[in-house]
Amino acid sequence: MKKTLFLLIAVLFCISATAKSEKPRDSKTSYAKTVLQPYVDSGQLPGAISVFYKDGVQETTCIGYADVSQKRPIKMDNVFMQCSQTKGFCGVTIAKLVEEGRISLDDPVSKYLPEFAVLWVLDGSNDSTMTLRKAKNVLTVRMVLNHTGGFPFEISAKRSDVRGGGWSGGAPLRQTASIAAASPIMFEPGTRELYSNTGIDIGAAIVEVVTGMKWEAYLKQEVLDPLGMKATWFWPTDKQLKNKIELYAYKKDAPAEWVEEMGWQQRPYNDSHVFASAGAGLWTTANDQLKFYKMLMNLGVGDNGVRILKEETVKNLLAVSTRPNGLGGYSLGLSAPEKDSDDAWYGHGGAWGTNCSVNWHKKELKLWVVQSAGGEQPWRAEIDKAAERFFAQPVNKSGVDAYTGRMQ
């Protein structure tokens, strides 16, 4: 009996060990650097990070500066504001609770947040009056996570033109949800789409009710810590902020201009005025972003072998749209195709120019990090072409662990 138990433990240990993928092999290519170098040399692009990954082979490009004035090179471990890429993290927490049978996407939001039992639709307005009508459709969990709930971008308490406002200022998640419930929605739930931080925050408030935990604490316990994302949080340390990627506004035919802060994310970045927001506001690094998105690419398994979600959960709730047909592709906090295919990508971008998306069928990933404070980004078309060239090349996987994350 003891011998059998010992053998079983040994087998499980071996399975756990082999589930961990090795470090990706350097592609020895420079597609991104080639197209970005002229923009960096001119000063129009202060600095950027690009990662292309294809089934175990990776091109990593860190070019230019995180801080031009101090000539501080941009690095994979510099923190940056990922803005709306935070939405995907909320989507994963919701998907996890659905997987566990603790939430149904078609549950009324009012099952968890009673203040949403009656909603009022804005039916017209002028300078002096506002016409409202009672909503007929039931608002569901699915709708708040895929931007079909009818909510505005942000609630009034998070105005970006008020000092201390913005997505990480103004109100905690449960208060945000209550304000949203008491405010008019823009259309009948489930009939149109309107991009909304508010809806995602409502989803996070539901997580709080179901788990009895703060959403950010649940996120840390169930996603960030298991994936080893130690640099990702809503309150970066002072040490991290000293090395953050600075904000710059694009100037045509001139070097980019440094910008101290943006209205939606105001200094100080880690004091008591900052509340966790699921719609936007999570700080991270390129190294940590790779851990999260490679988990999505590997259908729920992190590069460290830790499973966050089941394969079918990722395929059905995150990698493909949950909206009604004809309303565009969006799943739970992630941009996703309306129909799955071998060429389908899913992921999310952020307001400061960041983006990451994955193709789970081909085990491909493309990550882009800048901190753009506005203006054109003429290098975008060039980096897209560079990605096409990288993914078109044949991959030599000799010596590469081709683990695809398909373990149950």
Which residues neighbour 69 within 8 Å (Cβ) at sequence distance 6 or greater? Answer: 258
And the tokens for 258? 């440094």
For residues 166 and 264, the answer to whether their CB atoms sit within 8 Å is yes
Hey, what's the torsion of the CAs at 213, 216, 218, 220, to 10 degrees? -150
- Angle ∠(282,288,290) on CA atoms, nearest 5: 115
- Angle ∠(51,54,60) on CA atoms, nearest 5: 25
The pLDDT value recorded for residue 398 is: 55
d(CA 393, CA 328): 31
Q: Which CATH number fits domain 24-392: 3.40.640.10, 3.40.710.10, 3.40.50.150, 3.20.20.140?
A: 3.40.710.10
For 181, left (φ over 0), alpha (ψ -120 to 50), or beta?
A: alpha
- pLDDT per position in the chain (408 positions), as tens? 555 544 444 444 444 443 455 689 999 999 999 999 999 999 999 999 999 999 999 999 999 999 999 999 999 999 999 999 999 999 999 999 999 999 999 999 999 999 999 999 999 877 778 899 999 999 999 999 999 999 999 999 998 988 888 998 889 999 999 999 999 999 999 999 999 999 999 999 999 999 999 999 999 999 999 999 999 999 999 999 999 999 999 999 999 999 999 999 999 999 999 999 999 999 999 999 999 999 999 999 999 999 999 999 999 999 999 999 999 999 999 999 999 999 999 999 999 999 999 999 999 999 999 999 999 999 999 999 999 999 999 876 554 443 333 333
For residues 238 and 270, the answer to whether their CB atoms sit within 8 Å is yes
d(CA 152, CA 155): 7
Identify the three-state secondary structure at position 82.
coil
d(CA 289, CA 73): 19
Q: Is 36 exposed, middle or buried (0-12, 13-18, 19+ CB in 10 A)?
A: buried
Q: Where are the domains of the chain?
A: 24-392
For residues 109 and 145, the answer to whether their CB atoms sit within 8 Å is no
The pLDDT value recorded for residue 168 is: 86
Identify the three-state secondary structure at position 221.
helix
Which residues neighbour 322 within 8 Å (Cβ) at sequence distance 6 or greater? Answer: 105, 142, 145, 146, 330, 331, 332
User: 53 - beta bridge partners?
Assistant: 58, 365
Q: Considering only CA atoms, which of 145, 227, 149, 215 is closest in space to residue 181? A: 149
Q: Is 145 exposed, middle or buried (0-12, 13-18, 19+ CB in 10 A)?
A: buried
The pLDDT value recorded for residue 164 is: 86
User: 50 - beta bridge partners?
Assistant: 61, 368
For residues 124 and 249, the answer to whether their CB atoms sit within 8 Å is no
Q: Where are the beta strands (DSSP E) in 318-360?
A: 346-349, 355-359
